Homo-oligomer: A and B are copies of this chain.
Amino acid sequence: MIDLLAKLPGLGPRSAKRAALHLLNKREPLMRPLAFAIAEAADKVETCKICGNLDSINPCAVCADATRDASVICVVESVGDLWAMERAGAHRGRYHVLGGLLSPLDGVGPDDLNIGGLIARASEEAVTEVILALAATVDAQTTAHYVADSLAGSGVKVSQLSQGVPVGGELDYLDEGTIAAAMKARRPT
């Protein structure tokens, strides 16, 4: 058990031992419920056939929610980023999980990502806007360009998250690249 716990991100060999002892001391209130929850999740959680989200229902709760705006698709790298967008509550449409980023150095090409599914959705559904919510890293922006190019003929509006000063950010503590990006993308007041 300790060896397996130590494979979890955020746990090393020492903290895995500590976690194991904690579990053994709380067999009924924590250990058995956790074992059951993990086994149940392993059985029930599926990848949404529409967007690639993880959920116990398929299509996922976001895709199945009729109150959400089906005309706007927000493209994210991973399910973790989808959850981050939901935490922010800034998107009332649907999602599309790419499942990674283009990375020639790591041998990740367009066929390894769920880009074909996005193009199909953009053409089949009543989609008017695709928002690329990808990170401000080199790989993510390369991927954003590739996806935008792939959607160029589809007639949908393609937009992306603004880059600039993060909320609460003070100029003196920002890196030069962010200041330069915020300057380049400046907008009328």
Contact = CB atoms under 8 A, between A and B. Distances in A.
Interface of A: 76-78, 80-81, 83-85, 87-91, 131-137, 140, 144-145, 148, 157-172, 174-189
B163 A167 contact: yes
A107 to B, nearest CB: 21
Given A88-B179, A171-B81, A180-B90, A187 B162 contact: yes
Contacts of A160: 186-187, 189
B183 A80 contact: no
B84 A180 contact: no
A189 to B, nearest CB: 4
Contacts of A174: 84, 166
8 contacts: A88-B179, A89-B176, A144-B189, A159-B188, A161-B186, A162-B181, A163-B165, A166-B181
